[in-house]
Amino acid sequence: MDRAELAAFLRSRRERISPADVGLPAGSRRRTPGLRREEVAQLAYISTEYYTRLEQARGPRPSREVLTGLARALRLTDAERDHLHLLAGAPPGPPPGPSREVRQSILDLVHRLPQSAAFVTSAMMEVLAWNDLAAALMEDFSALPRRERNLARRAFLGPHTEGRRLYGVSDADAFARHAARRLRTAAARYPDDPEVAALIRELLDGSEEFARLWALHEVDVTPTLRKTFQHPLVGPVTVNCDALDLADRDQQVVIYTAVPGSPAEEALRLLSVIGTQSMDAPR
């Protein structure tokens, strides 16, 4: 345990967080930047005396539970969380759950692809970010509550609008198998995450197909390179499918593009104009 470096690291992370970041009033008598020590202690569910000793390089080695509380209170990134554990002499365990934070550079990339439908998914198949064309081709994710943006839940539990499973995509059955494999990997990678466990229980209880696929214990992910969407307004749209892995966040950027000069390219161009405002088909 490197007490001096741990103390300096905790102090630097505390000073960069404003009270508003964690829902606390700023007040008018703050003499130091960031949070007060007692506020960090409160957020981490430890005593102020104990946290003060850590920042003064006098504290005992913190437990994993304390480190988890500090990482949450100080809003550490995954890399910072690992660094905190290493400074405390406790090698980091698996991340507590799939990351939902998308890097700004990836958000910029997704929105700078106006001729492609692009979106970002988490390890548990939740759509985290998307561009306008992805919303027009699939659905307006911004109009959905967070839990309904999960593609695995959509694939196995619906809704299946007008008999069209998963937006009428041609590889819906293959995608369902792919989703079960991705969730199998997520369950092994995040064994203590309650959201991953709850999603898997929900799918096991609600879908015989998922239960059958889950029992296969498959983890290999075979990419689909081309698929066709049966869109309610513009008809069939055949796209090439590429998935870019973001290993540091355990996320994927999925990009759908049409062959230049094809009817699908014209359909995507039309969808980029229509957007989601004229999508009157029931979901």
Sheet holding 226-231, edge to edge: 127-130, 117-121, 251-257, 235-246, 226-231
Contact 132, 275 (CB under 8 A): yes
Which pLDDT score is estimated for 142? 92
Contacts of 55 by beta carbon, 8 Å cutoff, 6+ apart? 7, 10, 11, 14, 37
Question: Which residue, 254, 124, 241, is CA-closest to 180?
Answer: 124
Would you write out the chain's pLDDT as a tens digit for each of its 283 residues?
888 999 998 999 888 888 777 667 666 566 667 888 888 898 889 999 998 999 898 888 888 888 888 988 888 887 888 899 999 988 877 667 888 889 899 999 999 998 999 999 999 999 999 999 999 999 999 999 999 999 999 999 988 877 788 898 998 999 999 999 999 999 998 888 889 999 999 999 999 999 999 999 988 766 678 999 999 899 999 999 999 999 888 999 999 999 999 999 999 999 999 876 544 433 3
Question: Which residue, 113, 118, 116, is CA-closest to 243?
Answer: 118
Which pLDDT score is estimated for 176? 93
How far is 35 from 21, CA to CA, in rounded Å? 10
How far is 175 from 227, CA to CA, in rounded Å? 10
Angle made by CA atoms 184, 189, 193, in degrees to the nearest 5: 95
Give the end-to-end CA distance of the chain in Å, rounded to a whole number.
Answer: 55
Q: 3-88 domain in CATH 3.40.50.150? A: no
List the chain domain ranges.
3-88, 104-274
Question: Which residue, 107, 85, 82, 84, is CA-closest to 246?
Answer: 107
Which pLDDT score is estimated for 281? 39
Contact 78, 95 (CB under 8 A): yes
Contact 177, 213 (CB under 8 A): yes
Question: Which residue, 175, 259, 176, 271, is CA-closest to 232?
Answer: 271
Q: Can you state the angle between helices 37-44 and 48-55, rounded to 10 degrees?
A: 120
Question: Which residue, 114, 120, 81, is CA-closest to 97?
Answer: 81
Q: Which CATH class is domain 104-274?
A: alpha beta
Q: How many CA atoms lie within 13 A of 76 on its CB side?
A: 26
pTM exceeds 0.85, yes or no:
no
Which pLDDT score is estimated for 27? 62
